[in-house]
């Protein structure tokens, strides 16, 4: 029997332009991420990787082109050949399907760990508080912090804060998880534990992941596809074991030899 697969990409960029003032960061960018893919974006600083994640999270808005999430337009759609902005209500609905973990954790400092995790499920998704709390405790156990529910972020180490941020993103049951340099602000000795948790999540779930990292070992373990960016364009792509072992493009070779 033929197995029917849903081939609608989880994320699809079609001719996306992004500028900041006079700086063009992305020009006509096209790429897709299939459902369940774990895609790592690599490339020199300033090449537009974080901007791509922020566009998917609707923290930035593209100046041209279209972004589709599971086949649905994210912020703009085409009507009679014109690019038309979608309403905030639609964007909010789309945003619910996406989770993001940031370099600087971005926890709410005035809330406890538990409150941080249940905030969006309760207020955005309307999950009953008791159910949200039960799930938060489960997630805290998963990230190895079962006894930190009542702590405040300032009482936690950077690695612990990042683990809470991961639990908070997962509490929304996202279809897509965006990871933006999640270990860059951490002390070297705790990088491994955070990456280990993310590796487990990648193994145990089918969440689509779009990852920006300089941790090539992590990229190799977690991702099935790596996109090398430079100047806001994809220079080269492939499975990590191929791209890292035998890059074809000069710019990829240079980048890899600089970070390895």
Judged by beta carbon, residue 45 or residue 257, the one nearer ligand ADP is: 45
Judged by beta carbon, residue 43 or residue 153, the one nearer ligand ADP is: 43
By CB under 6 A, tell whether 154 contacts ligand ADP: no
**Of residues 102, 98, 100, the one with CA closest to residue 182:** 102
**Of residues 176, 211, 218, the one with CA closest to residue 197:** 218
Q: Which residue has the tokens 């990829």?
A: 252
Which runs of E-coded beta strand occur in 62-125?
64-69, 72-73, 76-79, 82-85, 98-101
Tell me the closest approach of the beta carbon of residue 253 to ligand ADP, in angstroms: 18
Binding ligand ADP (rule: CB under 6 A), the pick from 2, 22, 23, 257 is: 23
Binding ligand ADP (rule: CB under 6 A), the pick from 9, 48, 65, 153 is: 48
Query: Scanning residues 49 to 108, which ones bind ligand ADP (CB under 6 A)?
Result: 49-51
By CB under 6 A, tell whether 20 contacts ligand ADP: yes
Size of the chain, expressed as the number of residues it contains = 260
Is the Cβ–Cβ distance between 64 and 37 less than 8 Å? no
Query: Scanning residues 167 to 226, which ones bind ligand ADP (CB under 6 A)?
Result: none
By CB under 6 A, tell whether 40 contacts ligand ADP: no
C-alpha–C-alpha distance, residues 30 and 26, integer Å: 10
Residues that bind ligand ADP (CB under 6 A): 20, 23, 25, 43, 45-51
């Amino acid at each position: 029997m033929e197995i029917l697969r849903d081939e609608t990409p989880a994320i699809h960029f079609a001719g996306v332009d992004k500028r900041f003032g006079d700086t063009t960061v992305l020009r006509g960018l096209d790429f897709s991420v299939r459902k369940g893919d774990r895609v790592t974006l690599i490339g020199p600083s300033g090449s537009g990787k974080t901007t791509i994640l922020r566009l998917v999270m609707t923290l930035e808005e593209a100046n041209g082109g279209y972004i589709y999430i599971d086949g649905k337009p994210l912020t703009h759609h085409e009507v009679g050949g014109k690019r038309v902005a979608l309403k905030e209500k639609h964007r909010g609905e789309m945003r619910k399907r996406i989770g993001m973990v940031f370099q600087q954790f971005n926890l709410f400092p005035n809330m406890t760990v538990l409150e941080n995790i249940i905030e969006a499920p309760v207020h955005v998704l309307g999950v009953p508080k008791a159910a949200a709390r039960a799930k938060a405790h489960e997630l805290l156990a998963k990230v190895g912090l079962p006894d930190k529910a009542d702590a405040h972020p300032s009482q936690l180490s950077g690695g612990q804060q990042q683990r809470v941020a991961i639990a908070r993103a997962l509490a929304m049951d996202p279809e897509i998880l965006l990871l933006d340099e999640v270990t860059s602000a951490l002390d070297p000795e705790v990088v491994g534990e955070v990456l280990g948790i993310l590796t487990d999540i990648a193994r145990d779930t089918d969440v689509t992941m779009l990852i920006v990292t300089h941790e090539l070992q992590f990229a190799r373990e977690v991702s099935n596809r790596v996109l090398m960016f430079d100047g806001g364009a994809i220079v080269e792509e492939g499975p990590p074991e191929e791209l890292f072992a035998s890059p074809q493009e000069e710019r990829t070779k240079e980048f890899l030899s600089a970070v390895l």
